[in-house]
Amino acid sequence: MGLHRLLCLNRAPLFCAAVLAACSSPKSAAPAAPPEVGVMTLQVQPVTISTELPGRTAAYRVAEVRPQVSGVILKRLFAEGSEVKAGQQLYQIDPAPFQASLESAQAALAHAQAVLTTARLLAQRDKPLLDAQAISQQDFDNAAAAEQQAVADVASAKAAVDTAHINLVYTRVLSPIAGHTGRSSVTEGALVQAGQSTALVVVQQLDPIYVDVTEPSTTLLRLKKALAGGQLKKVGEGQAQAKLTLEDNSPYDQTGTLQFSEVTVDPGTGSVTLRAVFPNARQVLLPGMFVHEQLEEAVNEQGLLIPQRAVTHNERGEATTIVVGADHKFSTRVIKTERAIGDQWLVSEGVAAGEQVVVTGLQRIKPGVTEVRPREVSAGELGGDAADASGAGPSPPAFTRQP
């Protein structure tokens, strides 16, 4: 009995230590909750397919006003930057010397007409004398020749009068077109020369206005086929309807027409210039502005759009997106993007309507995570967010347009 009691006493500390160890051991870790991600359910919707063409505006007509006679500028009769009408006087060149030239030419004409009158009367008197053989044929021929010479002198004097009158009119420098004036290169007192290389002022017609687009010849061929096939909206023979986006990305409120009139391809670049005409009554468009021109080609009734922030690219450069299944498990899909439509991609392969793609919370999908908790994100909520905190915002569009 003593030995048994001794053994029990010896084992008691070991048992207590085991109990204490069991009580102090950490509990087994509970499984982590799946991370929450924002998803968007894809839906089929009509998508307008359009081609965007960058270009620059150019004046509809440009007139470089130069003097046609030499002289001193007496007056400038317009305000720089103002609108002028066709035929409106812009400058007045000193008319005094030209007025004197006109009066001199008129006097020379009067003298020539007087000589003609004398020569004609002499020829008329010599005709019956020749019939009566009172004068020789030579005398009569001389009188007839003098009359004809006097007629020629009168015609020459009339031409001189007309020239002098034209030069006098040219002292009133007129605008050949209606348009917007630029900066005047001369002031009162300046001496100008006929045919000088420097324009006195440039007048530009801004309503309507041109938009010139330089594109590869393949774009011209494709657009012509689309126009012939009815995919582009026609507004005339060889013309398609076009819209415009300004430099600040605001839409221009007037529609224009794209003209397929270019017939020469630049052999160095293989490009052509396509010209569109837009109304510009309020002169919102000024020459030299950079704009974007849109041509509506067709409407895809079964379009599928994915937000650009939901698309990334793998190491092979393929576009990918993360799709969440019904079991909350996710997978990476390789998709085919056709073109950018605003801040979304038009997708033709890789996903289908009704599937959910991850648009926010991509940074929470880390190695070892196998499933997620999807939360539907509305388009308005998505548009109000900044770029995803993961830095996985919208990938730079590989093709903002496909001409």
Q: What tens digit of pLDDT does each residue of 209-253 get?
A: 999 988 888 877 877 787 777 766 666 666 778 899 999 989 999
CATH topology of domain 68-94+171-198: OB fold (Dihydrolipoamide Acetyltransferase, E2P) (2.40.50)
Give the mean model confidence (pLDDT) for residues 111-128: 90
Give the mean model confidence (pLDDT) for residues 27-37: 69
The pLDDT of residue 301 is 79
Nearest to 263 by CA among 250, 254, 255, 272: 272
CATH 1.10.287.470 residue window(s) in the chain:
96-170
The pLDDT of residue 362 is 83
Distance CA 156, CA 173 (A): 27
Burial 159-189 (b: 16+ CB within 10 A, else e): ebbeebbebbebbebebebbbbbbebebeee
Is the confidence at residue 130, as pLDDT, over 90? Answer: no
Residue that wins the pLDDT comparison between 110 and 5: 110
Give the mean model confidence (pLDDT) for residues 395-401: 36
The pLDDT of residue 3 is 42
Of 102-106, 118-122, 347-351, 364-368, which range is least confident?
364-368
**Extended strands (E) in 147-289:** 172-174, 179-181, 191-192, 201-216, 234-236, 239-245, 256-259, 271-278
Residue 301 CB neighbour total at 10 angstroms: 9
CATH 2.40.50.100 residue window(s) in the chain:
68-94+171-198
Nearest to 153 by CA among 110, 98, 103: 110
Give residue 299's identity as a one-letter amino acid code: V
Give the mean model confidence (pLDDT) for residues 150-155: 94
The pLDDT of residue 47 is 83
3-state helix, strand and coil shares in percent for the chain, rounded to the nearest 5? 30, 35, 35
CATH 2.40.30.170 residue window(s) in the chain:
52-59+205-299
Is the confidence at residue 386, as pLDDT, over 70? Answer: no
State percent of the chain over pLDDT 90.
Answer: 47
The CATH class given to the 96-170 domain equals mainly alpha
The pLDDT of residue 234 is 63
The pLDDT of residue 20 is 46
Is the confidence at residue 194, as pLDDT, over 70? Answer: yes
Give the mean model confidence (pLDDT) for residues 105-131: 90
What token pair was written down for 199?
């324009």
Is the CB of residue 83 less than 8 Å from the CB of residue 204? Answer: no
Is the CB of residue 258 less than 8 Å from the CB of residue 295? Answer: yes
CATH 2.40.420.20 residue window(s) in the chain:
36-47+302-384
The pLDDT of residue 30 is 54
Contacts of 68 by beta carbon, 8 Å cutoff, 6+ apart: 170, 194, 195
Of 14-23, 132-141, 245-254, which range is least confident?
14-23
Give the mean model confidence (pLDDT) for residues 319-338: 90
pLDDT band at 62 (very low <50, low <70, confident <90, very high): very high
Give the mean model confidence (pLDDT) for residues 279-299: 88
The pLDDT of residue 391 is 34
Residue that wins the pLDDT comparison between 238 and 325: 325
CATH topology of domain 52-59+205-299: Elongation Factor Tu (Ef-tu); domain 3 (2.40.30)
- Specify the CATH architecture of the domain 36-47+302-384: Beta Barrel (2.40)
Arithmetic mean of pLDDT over the chain: 83
The pLDDT of residue 262 is 66
Strands 179-181 and 201-216: antiparallel
Distance CA 322, CA 49 (A): 26
- For residue range 336-378, list pLDDT tens digits in order: 998 888 788 989 899 999 999 999 988 888 877 888 888 898 8
